[in-house]
Amino acid sequence: MDSVLRAAAVYLILLIIMRIAGKRTLAQITVFDFILLLIIGEATQQALLAEDFSIINSALVIATLVLLDIVLAMLKQRSKTLDRIIDDAPVVIVENGRLLRDRMDRSRIDEQDILVAARELHGLERLDQIKYAVLERSGGISIVPAGSAQST
């Protein structure tokens, strides 16, 4: 019983912390962000397993986390509000080469982040080559290059 409750509590705490931290924290944008994620993982492992290193405890913790994730996905499918609360929504941060500063500030993104994504994904060099840049729910930035076909 203890293992299941502990796993559920850690899941909930991580969900809240990651939501507060924002999308970009999980995007592994810098080496330090990556290290931070590793440290969070290590701290979480301690909380999940405590001193119990039995196989059955690991199985219980994994099963609880997976089950909670499935249940939450099902709930998100049924409730758009919950979906929005937990995963947020994609947001356009560049429109036709113009930076949308207020949205960028809210998501703690600067111009360099967008240009990095533009170079890596499409080999673009300047902002005016970007039609749309979108901060996705995953925390990644997707780029629609200027001159690409308009969707209907």
Residues 1-40, interacting with other proteins (CB under 8 A): 1-5
Among 20, 32, 42, 53, binds other proteins (CB under 8 A): 53
Among 30, 45, 54, 79, binds other proteins (CB under 8 A): 54
Please identify, using beta-carbon distances, which residue of 32 and 53 lies nearer to other proteins. 53
- HSE-CB of 109 using CA atoms within 13 angstroms: 30
Question: How many CB atoms are located within 10 Å of the residue 23 CB?
Answer: 22
Q: Confirm or reject binding of residue 56 to other proteins (CB under 8 A).
A: yes
Please identify, using beta-carbon distances, which residue of 35 and 63 lies nearer to other proteins. 63
C-alpha span between 132 and 145 (Å, rounded): 7
Considering only the stretches 49-57, 81-89, 126-134, 138-146, report the one whose residues sit in contact with other proteins under the rule CB under 8 A: 49-57
Q: Give the strands of the sheet with 91-95, arranged side by side.
A: 98-99, 91-95, 130-135, 141-145
Instruction: Find all residues with CB under 8 Å of 20, minimum gap 6, and list them.
Output: none
- The contact set with other proteins (CB under 8 A) reads 1-5, 51-57, 59-60, 63-64, 66-67, 70
